[in-house]
Amino acid sequence: MISDFSDPAQLTNTAVLKAENVNVYYGSNLAVRDVSLDIPRNKVVAFIGPSGCGKSTILRCFNRMNDLIPGARVDGTITFHDRNLYSKALDPVEIRRRIGMVFQKPNPFPKSIYENIAFGARINGYQGDMDELVESSLRKAAIWEEVKDKLKESGLALSGGQQQRLCIARAIAISPEVILMDEPCSALDPISTLRVEELIHELKQQYTIVIVTHNMQQASRVSDLTAFYNAEATEKGNKIGYLVEYDNTQSIFHNPQQQATQDYVSGRFG
Amino acid sequence: MTFESPVPDDRLWKPNRKLSQWMEGVVKFIFAAFAFISVITTLGIVLTLIFETFDFFKEVSLWNFLTDTKWTPLFKSAKFGIWVLISATVLTSAIAIIVALPLGLLAAICLSEYATSRVRSLLKPALEILAGVPTVVYGYFALLFVTPLLQLLIPGLQGFNALSAGIVVGISIVPLIASLSEDAIYAVPRSLRDGAYALGATKRETIISVVLPAALSGIVASVILAVSRAIGETMIVALAAGQNPTLGLNPFVPVMTMTAFIVQVSLGDTPAGSLAYRTIFVVGMTLFVITLALNIFSFWFVRRFREKYE
Ligand SMILES: Nc1ncnc2c1ncn2[C@@H]1O[C@H](COP(=O)(O)OP(=O)(O)OP(=O)(O)O)[C@@H](O)[C@H]1O
Ligand SMILES: [Mg+2]
């Protein structure tokens, strides 16, 4: 089902994350079945698909956030630089340090803006100049100008859009290799959304990004590759998500191989 | 197609409505009456305290009340140094909080963050039983079990002492701190924890650096409530701390707390209207002022430091 990339060899060489035949269960329910895809380095990959098809679920598999959900279970293989992400030898804490995450709802800590950034660095044993790190992270997240005079104020006192950029700054501060973003703009106004999108463009130079979005335009604007997920109902009534098609964003939006993809991206769905 | 609108039939509706209107009025009255009872009671208590206190200070100067170093209201040369009683109350309450704060907080963290549902189902009822034990039982527990135990460790410890009473008061308020703090910790949104974990925080780091600070106002409120409870605790200190008004903060000797004094005088045959009788109210007023101040502080603190998450 996954169509060939223009240059498959190049892509496999630089794949940072690789999922093979991944199934995810919540308790005894299969939520997502048989997902295989590669996340290439320094690219932006968008996950799109109808609600409940398992985009967030797969995203959380990549930094083992699913471990925190009681009853969640992952089988199949996910590798990070060719090492099995789920092997006993790897500490999920270490993985999350290298694969950061930004959530759908901004969730700054009830601490000062400064401490929001410094927290991650501190627990990860950062030795350098903390002021400098805070400033550079906030600059990268395009929020420095707005908060530089109130670093001591609570992160909760910011607007939703500012909070989300603060959360992105917080994720960047520990210099992860990959940033996972679960609908980062869904709570934001169009202007903040644009700023976050610009930000993603810049971050691409240094980071690999996976972003879940319900916004087709956003997916086509920011991503290099797009994965379309869909869900099918079982006889028991619950839905099982699966990967329909994964390709260059251009191809997904203009020349999809699957009818379902065509219907979804053109808004003729369900 | 024709639609027939239903014929309005007054007989169907009227009787019903009258009755429910009447009932509504009665219910409203009953509720208002109950609400009023609690207001009246509070008012009554406060007024009694104020009047008796006023009469008391006609005979004893406020200056002596606040500066005397002896508390001997029943002696010929009566002295009313309230600090003697306050120091005892502060002493037992401080010991109680030193015991109860770590125990209660750790229990709350354990219950909300670490315990499996199985452990929880054992721990919670155990705490509730602890909260349900009558204080007179705690009092004898202090006197007949904890004190002899402490005497093994601390030779020369007197039979009545602030230490044992304080420790047992502490145990008795552990459930209060534990359950209120647990609520506060539980109310910290999951998204905050996820945020910390996603930065590579361990569970311990998440709890200490994110969850506890976020729950701080609730935890402080629970501790202040527990302090008020410890200050007002009567039975345990009356039984185990002794009846000796001594100024100072020595935990190894018998002391007399404010509540213990009230018990002592109330049990004796003090004629109503006498000065000794009024000391009960003065001490009661002091207690009331202290707990009121604590509650106001707690109210202010919670308002000031509560984080609002939508
Ligand atoms: N914590 C959970 N416990 C149990 N089931 C869950 C949990 N999270 C998700 N699921 C189930 O897994 C399936 C996929 O959910 P998921 O959140 O991954 O969908 P999604 O594609 O992100 O949807 P949306 O676009 O609405 O965010 C759903 O059927 C959902 O009911
Ligand atoms: Mg989702």
pLDDT digits (tens, 9 = 90+) for B177-214: 999 999 999 999 999 999 999 999 999 999 999 999 99
With respect to residue B63, please indicate whether it lies within any of the assigned structural domains: no
The percent helix, strand, coil of chain A (3-state, each to 5) is 35, 30, 35
Mean pLDDT value across residues B152-172 = 93
Q: Is the dihedral of CA B176, B177, B182, B183 positive or negative?
A: positive
Whose C-alpha lies nearest to ligand 1, atom 22? A56
Six-digit token string for B208: 């200490």
Whether A124 has its CB under 8 Å from any CB of chain B: the answer is yes
Provide the pLDDT for residue A64: 93
Centre of ligand 2 from the C-alpha of residue A75, in Å? 20
Using the predicted structure, report yes or no on whether residue B50 has a pLDDT greater than 80: yes
Do B40 and B92 fall into the same domain?
no
Query: What does the alpha-carbon distance between residue A12 and residue A24 come to, in Å, rounded to a whole number?
Result: 24
Assign A11 a pLDDT band (cuts: 50, 70, 90). very low
Assign B303 a pLDDT band (cuts: 50, 70, 90). confident
- CB-based contact A32:A239 (threshold 8 Å): no
With respect to residue B2, please indicate whether it lies within any of the assigned structural domains: no
Do B46 and B157 fall into the same domain?
no
CB spacing of A96 vs B210 below 8 angstroms:
no
Mean pLDDT of chain B: 89
Assign A89 a pLDDT band (cuts: 50, 70, 90). confident
Counting other chains too, the contacts that A10-14 makes at CB distance below 8 Å and 24 or more residues apart are: A11/A38, A11/A40, A12/A38, A14/A40, A14/A41, A14/A42
Six-digit token string for B11: 């007989």
Chain A partners within 8 Å of B192 (Cβ):
107, 109-110
Do B23 and B138 fall into the same domain?
no
Closest atom, ligand 1, to C-alpha of A50:
25
Six-digit token string for B298: 């707690």
Nearest chain B Cα distance for residue A137, angstroms = 14
Q: Is the dihedral of CA A143, A145, A146, A148 positive or negative?
A: positive
- CB-based contact A157:A125 (threshold 8 Å): no
Assign A49 a pLDDT band (cuts: 50, 70, 90). very high
Chain B partners within 8 Å of A124 (Cβ):
199-200
Name residue A92's amino acid: P
Name residue A194's amino acid: L
Provide the pLDDT for residue A212: 96
Assign B9 a pLDDT band (cuts: 50, 70, 90). low
Mean pLDDT of chain A: 88
Do B229 and B87 fall into the same domain?
yes
CATH superfamily of the A8-107+177-265 domain: P-loop containing nucleotide triphosphate hydrolases (3.40.50.300)
Assign A5 a pLDDT band (cuts: 50, 70, 90). very low
Provide the pLDDT for residue B16: 65
Mean pLDDT value across residues B288-296 = 93
With respect to residue B282, please indicate whether it lies within any of the assigned structural domains: yes
Please give the distance of CA A211 from its chain centroid, rounded to a whole number.
4
Provide the pLDDT for residue A59: 95
Do B51 and B197 fall into the same domain?
no
Assign B289 a pLDDT band (cuts: 50, 70, 90). very high
| B205 phi and psi angles, rounded to 5 deg | -65, -40
Query: What does the alpha-carbon distance between residue A249 and residue A255 come to, in Å, rounded to a whole number?
Result: 10
Provide the pLDDT for residue B6: 67
Q: Which of A94, A109, A154 minimises the CB distance to B200?
A: A94
Using the predicted structure, report yes or no on whether residue A2 has a pLDDT greater than 50: no
Task: Write the DSSP string, B223-236.
Answer: HHHHHHHHHH--HH
Do B103 and B196 fall into the same domain?
yes
Report whether residue A54 contacts ligand 1, using a CB cutoff of 6 Å.
yes
Provide the pLDDT for residue A166: 94
- CB-based contact B168:B141 (threshold 8 Å): yes
Provide the pLDDT for residue A190: 87
With respect to residue B89, please indicate whether it lies within any of the assigned structural domains: yes
Count of domains for chain B: 2
Mean pLDDT value across residues A236-265 = 91
CB spacing of B198 vs A110 below 8 angstroms:
no
Centre of ligand 1 from the C-alpha of residue A23, in Å? 13
Nearest chain A Cα distance for residue B202, angstroms = 6
Structural domain boundaries enclosing B152: 83-305
Query: What does the alpha-carbon distance between residue A139 and residue B85 come to, in Å, rounded to a whole number?
Result: 60
Using the predicted structure, report yes or no on whether residue B100 has a pLDDT greater than 90: yes
CB spacing of B198 vs A94 below 8 angstroms:
no
Centre of ligand 1 from the C-alpha of residue B192, in Å? 19
Which of helix, strand or coil describes residue B146?
Answer: helix
Using the predicted structure, report yes or no on whether residue B11 has a pLDDT greater than 80: no
Using the predicted structure, report yes or no on whether residue A269 has a pLDDT greater than 80: no
Using the predicted structure, report yes or no on whether residue A192 has a pLDDT greater than 90: no
Provide the pLDDT for residue A3: 39
Using the predicted structure, report yes or no on whether residue A13 has a pLDDT greater than 70: no
> Distances from the Cα of B41 to the Cαs of B30, B48, B229, B288, B295, in angstroms?
17, 11, 20, 15, 19
Measured from the Cβ of residue B203, the count of other Cβ atoms closer than 10 Å reads 15
CB spacing of A65 vs B194 below 8 angstroms:
yes
With respect to residue B4, please indicate whether it lies within any of the assigned structural domains: no
Do B241 and B95 fall into the same domain?
yes
Provide the pLDDT for residue B12: 61
Centre of ligand 2 from the C-alpha of residue A54, in Å? 7
